[in-house]
């Protein structure tokens, strides 16, 4: 395994080439709510801390966070997904509009609520998270409508990102319906996977499992270099030999090219505050770089640097150009 470098000049040129590049993002849209405050005492009612709330903030999560990361680097991200006919769904659409992003690819469903993840944070410490969600697949009608929305937007697109959080938006039927046609159109199809759909991610161009997802997919631990290599090659065998970019947390990224060597990209030491949404950043930057003509290793190196940036921030966050360039330095 080698450990390549990416120069600041080359990285900047790649990011500049993202500008106005059309990339579709299909997946589970979520509203991420952060309730922030301070802890000054323990509750007299139970042995739990009392958080005195100072502010509440809502941001785009899940597939919406992938969109945010692309938009922050100048790409023309086109969100596709499902929200409920509720206040959280309306808030997601409003947040997209505030960022100048189109919402014509977003379906309002009468049969499911919007996924909301709420975090209570004191200082820089997350105290509790509670989720409002369901995991059932889309109804047949919603699935057909969402498929039509995808087809209405992919003319001229360079890539399609599948942001699968296992909330039901990306169903086996939708994958079977869209993926063969996406390949015929020459789209780069990148997927941030979940186990329930794993065998259905065919054909795709690139898949970005983390260590835990790779271990579950292969039914074995993924710790040593030999185990990492076996897992990456095994995933390629399962899915028709796509590019596999295996994210390994503080150990960096392993890149498995379909007909090439395994390349290991290390991280530099930095303090980790929150890993929420780091996978969103990685798949966003990786896909944009591939669509811009970067090599798999260059794309992964850029994505690795972006991932290092966001784990140093609290909550779901984006990596901006100068931050990525500084991380590479």
Task: Please choose, from the candidates 228, 224, 251, 259, the residue with its C-alpha nearest in 3D space to the C-alpha of residue 307.
Answer: 251
Helix, strand, coil percentages (3-state) for the chain, rounded to 5, are 40, 25, 35
In this predicted structure, what is the pLDDT of residue 324?
94
Do residues 1 and 254 lie in contact, with contact meaning Cβ atoms separated by under 8 Å? Answer: yes
Report how far residue 327's alpha carbon sits from residue 321's, in angstroms, rounded to the nearest whole number.
Answer: 10
Please report which helix (H) or strand (E) contains residue 286, including its range: helix 278-291
Report how far residue 78's alpha carbon sits from residue 20's, in angstroms, rounded to the nearest whole number.
Answer: 11
In this predicted structure, what is the pLDDT of residue 313?
79
Q: 160: which 2 tokens?
A: 């399609």
Do residues 25 and 79 lie in contact, with contact meaning Cβ atoms separated by under 8 Å? Answer: yes
In this predicted structure, what is the pLDDT of residue 124?
80
Q: 162: which 2 tokens?
A: 């599948």
In this predicted structure, what is the pLDDT of residue 14?
95
Q: Which of 32, 192, 274, 280 is catalytic?
A: 280
In this predicted structure, what is the pLDDT of residue 229?
95
Do residues 254 and 208 lie in contact, with contact meaning Cβ atoms separated by under 8 Å? Answer: no
Q: Beta-carbon neighbour count of residue 272 at 10 Å?
A: 12
Asked if 280 is an active-site residue, the reply is yes
What phi and psi values does residue 282 have, to the nearest 5 degrees? -60, -50
Q: Tokens 């802890």, residue?
A: 39
The answer to whether the Cα torsion of 236, 238, 241, 242 is positive or negative is negative
* ∠ CA 189-285-303, rounded to 5°: 115
Q: 22: which 2 tokens?
A: 């059309």
Report how far residue 263's alpha carbon sits from residue 105's, in angstroms, rounded to the nearest whole number.
Answer: 36
- Considering the entire predicted model, what is its pTM? 0.94
Q: Which domains does the chain have, with CATH numbers?
A: 8-39+49-328 (3.40.1190.20)
In this predicted structure, what is the pLDDT of residue 15?
96
| Residue 325: partners with Cβ closer than 8 Å, 6 or more residues away | 8, 11, 12, 15
pLDDT in tens, the chain (329 residues): 455 678 999 999 999 999 989 999 999 999 999 999 999 999 999 999 999 999 999 999 999 999 999 999 999 999 999 999 999 999 999 999 999 999 999 999 999 999 999 999 998 888 999 999 999 999 999 999 999 999 999 999 999 999 999 999 999 999 999 999 999 999 999 999 998 989 999 999 999 999 999 999 999 999 999 999 999 999 999 999 999 999 998 889 999 999 888 999 988 656 555 566 789 999 999 999 999 999 999 999 999 999 999 888 777 788 999 999 999 87
């Amino acid at each position: 395994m080698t450990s390549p470098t990416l120069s600041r000049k080359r990285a900047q040129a790649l990011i500049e080439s993202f500008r106005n590049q059309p990339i579709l993002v299909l997946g589970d849209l979520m509203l991420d709510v952060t309730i922030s405050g301070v802890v000054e005492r323990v509750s007299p009612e139970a042995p739990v801390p009392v958080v005195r709330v100072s502010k509440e903030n809502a941001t785009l999560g899940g597939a919406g966070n992938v969109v945010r990361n692309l938009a922050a680097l100048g790409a023309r991200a086109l969100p596709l997904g499902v929200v409920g006919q509720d206040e959280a769904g309306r808030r997601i659409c409003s947040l997209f509009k505030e960022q100048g992003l189109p919402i014509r690819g977003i379906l309002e469903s009468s049969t499911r609520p919007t996924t909301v993840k709420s975090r209570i944070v004191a200082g820089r410490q997350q105290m509790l998270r509670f989720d409002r969600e369901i995991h059932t697949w889309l109804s047949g009608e919603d699935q057909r409508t969402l498929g039509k929305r995808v087809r209405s937007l992919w003319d001229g697109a360079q890539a399609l990102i599948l942001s699968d959080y296992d909330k039901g938006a990306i169903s086996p039927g939708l994958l079977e319906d869209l993926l063969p046609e996406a390949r015929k159109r020459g789209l780069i199809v990148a997927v941030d996977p979940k186990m329930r759909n794993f065998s259905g991610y065919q054909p795709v161009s690139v898949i970005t499992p983390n260590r835990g997802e790779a271990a579950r997919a292969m039914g074995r631990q993924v710790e040593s270099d030999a185990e990492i290599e076996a897992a990456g090659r095994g995933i390629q065998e399962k899915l028709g030999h796509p590019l596999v970019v295996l994210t390994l947390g503080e150990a960096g990224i392993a890149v498995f090219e379909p007909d090439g060597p395994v390349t290991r990209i290390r991280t530099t030491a930095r303090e980790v505050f929150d890993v929420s949404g780091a996978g969103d950043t990685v798949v966003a930057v990786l896909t944009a770089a591939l669509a811009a003509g970067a090599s798999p290793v260059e794309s992964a190196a850029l994505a690795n640097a972006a991932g290092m940036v966001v784990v140093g921030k609290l909550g779901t966050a984006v990596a901006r150009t100068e931050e990525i360039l500084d991380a590479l330095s």
